[in-house]
Structure 1
Amino acid sequence: MNFRDFILLSSVCFVWGLNIVVTRWVVFDAAVPPLFFAAARFLGVALCLLPFLRPIPKDLKTLFLISFFIGSGHFALLFVGLANAEASAAAVVGQMGVPFATLMSMAFLGETIGWRRGLGIMLAFAGVLLIAVDPGSFSISFGLLYIGAAAFVGAVGGILMKRMSPVTALQSQAWIGLFSFAPLFVVSALLERGQVGSYISGGWWVWIATAFAVVGVSIFGHGGFYHLIKKYDISLLSPLTLMTPIWGVVLSIVLLNEAITPQLILGSAISLGGVLIIALRPNKTLPDAGVVKKLGSGGS
């Protein structure tokens, strides 16, 4: 990989990591209801990417189903999780989509794994368990359960997207945005209160955060990463995307003043080490399932 493309990939991973921190600030510090913020994000994506709705994809029914897993379902769980868990831990737990995709390939597509990937899966889960469990009370973080569920749902969507007819990154984003914002607004109206008032009272920073999620993450992040996918093998790109959770942890400590604990450091090292092992020996049946999930959800 040449230096210019490495800088581009590093910038994309930085934007994805920063997005976790920004979203945590919006749904926790600014107290914007998470489902409403997810709906506003997808509405912005749909409006900005209207030209990419054409030509209409052939397999629109499958894309509608994918929109639930990668779009509304994934982001509803993710944003609710971020409202109840620190961004640093969420950045690591969100990477569970990689071992989840591998396990689903085994269960439904006949993928076989060797001892190295098996070890990677066990390490990934063990590290997350170390981060999520409070050793004093043996209770599990409520928010991180949602983050883990979001990773699972996103992995399902990634596998479904891999099996449908190819569409460009921005075209898939346009349709996912179109299919996702209305259901999220409906669910928000049923479960949340004071959405519009909270969003408006958040002021310019919340509006800037929304613009960043739409333009920075969905357009720049996806466009840049899709450009790299066309030039380089997945086996090279996938391990390097682990810069995303590292940036997420660093930025959450710097910008949100989150505490860095030995438990977080050790759990992150174990979990991301396991994810790296899996990424270095990718699925044979769906070699880019984890990367496709990133294209659908913006790396979360």
Structure 2
Amino acid sequence: MKPRDVVLGVLTALLWGFNFIVIKLGLASFPPLLFLALRFLVAALPAAFFVGRKDIPWRVILQVGLVLGVVKFSLLYLGVNVGMPAGLSSLAIQSQVPFTILLSSIVLHDSPSRMQKRGMAIALGGIVLLAFTRQGNVDPLGVALILAAAVAWAVTNIFLKRTSGVDPFRLMIWMSLVPPLPLLVLSYLFEDGQVNAVSHMGAAGLGAVLYTGLVATVLAFGIWGRLLRRYSANLIAPFGLLVPVFGMAFSALLLHERLSSDGIFAATLIFLGLLTVVLGPRLERKLAQAAIHPTRVRASSETSTSD
């Protein structure tokens, strides 16, 4: 991967990690489905005034809008709303990584390399360790909702990977037109106090809507979709493993959810696993070249040293 794209992958993880804190705070102002509807209303506004749809098929817009916008995020917000901590939610949702790799292997025949598998094992080991360092009881319903959201996210990753010739930034904006109506209907049927929540949202509620709509949706998913178009899903999906690192860090700093030394060690394992996944294929190619042409590789190395 190009260094710039690696930075973009890390930046996306940071934005999503902080987003879990914003979601937790925003749910204090809004019912979950209403909050989510407002998020996508804000994200969709640029589509009506500034960004044209061009040749993006309505089929793709509807697929991503329904699976990502309605299904994935509804499950995520409901999971956080029933009591899942922000940091732990940012951790559990990253089960989308093995789900994405499994679906990519089945649907796209895009199997991970041996080094990538090892990196995934290291990173997932860090996630398991990080989960066991958490304190307190967690509602099984919340865990189930977050894991179901991860499956929906993995399906969306495959949709994005299979979409060719479509501007991901435009897609992320236009797909935001899809969720508000079904979410508002669901909110009307299953939630109460919507008018009061909107009329008394305050600065915190408004800030939560703007951040989740403009930053976490339009900006972050625009970057994510672009990276998925440029590289293998197996290479991009593991960047999501950094989300719980940032999510747990922000939770500790802002929500006073403290990490033990074991938690810090787990976060380190996740980062090392990510590096292995990202750099593994390049290392494997160099090792293969060294095995086939050891003299040429050694001579190249000596020339580089003399320069």
TM range (shorter): 0.7 to 0.9
Distance of aligned partners of 1:115 and 1:109 in 2 relative to their CA distance in 1, 3 Å threshold: same
Q: Are 2:32 and 1:26 equivalent residues in the alignment?
A: no
SS of the aligned residue for 1:153 comes to helix
Match of 2:16 in 1: 16
Match of 1:200 in 2: 199
Q: Determine the C-alpha separation between the residues in 1 that align with 2:53 and 2:91.
A: 36
Alignment of 1:232-247 (within 5 A): 242-247=241-246
Match of 2:63 in 1: 65
Distance of aligned partners of 1:45 and 1:188 in 2 relative to their CA distance in 1, 3 Å threshold: same
Match of 1:169 in 2: 168
Consecutive unaligned residues of structure 1, counting only runs of 5 or more, are: 283-300
Alignment of 1:209-248 (within 5 A): 209-222=208-221, 242-248=241-247
Q: Determine the C-alpha separation between the residues in 2 that align with 1:3 and 1:280.
A: 11
Answer whether contact 1:122 1:274 (CA < 8 A) is retained. Answer: yes
Q: Determine the C-alpha separation between the residues in 1 that align with 2:90 and 2:79.
A: 11
Instruction: Give the number of aligned pairs.
Output: 278
Q: Determine the C-alpha separation between the residues in 2 that align with 1:34 and 1:197.
A: 14
Equivalent AA in structure 2 for residue 195 of structure 1: Q
- Residue 54 of structure 1 and its aligned partner are, at CA, apart by 2.4
| Mean Cα deviation higher: 10-19 or 204-213 | 10-19
Q: Percent identity among equivalent residues?
A: 28
Q: Are 2:44 and 1:46 equivalent residues in the alignment?
A: yes
Alignment of 1:40-189 (within 5 A): 40-50=38-48, 51-58=50-57, 60-83=58-81, 84-113=83-112, 115-120=114-119, 128=127, 141-189=140-188
SS of the aligned residue for 1:259 comes to coil
Match of 1:288 in 2: none
| Mean Cα deviation higher: 44-53 or 16-25 | 44-53
For normalisation by structure 2, the TM-score amounts to 0.73
| Mean Cα deviation higher: 246-255 or 211-220 | 211-220
Equivalent AA in structure 1 for residue 69 of structure 2: G
Q: Determine the C-alpha separation between the residues in 2 that align with 1:9 and 1:76.
A: 24
Q: Determine the C-alpha separation between the residues in 2 that align with 1:61 and 1:4.
A: 32
Q: Determine the C-alpha separation between the residues in 2 that align with 1:113 and 1:161.
A: 18
Higher-Rg structure is: 2
Q: Deviations over 1:125-162 (max 9, x none)?
A: 55555555799999764323322221111111110222
SS of the aligned residue for 2:252 comes to helix
Q: Determine the C-alpha separation between the residues in 1 that align with 2:43 and 2:99.
A: 27
Q: Determine the C-alpha separation between the residues in 2 that align with 1:156 and 1:162.
A: 10
SS of the aligned residue for 1:174 comes to helix
Equivalent AA in structure 2 for residue 22 of structure 1: V
- Residue 242 of structure 1 and its aligned partner are, at CA, apart by 4.6
- Residue 56 of structure 1 and its aligned partner are, at CA, apart by 4.5
Distance of aligned partners of 1:148 and 1:125 in 2 relative to their CA distance in 1, 3 Å threshold: farther
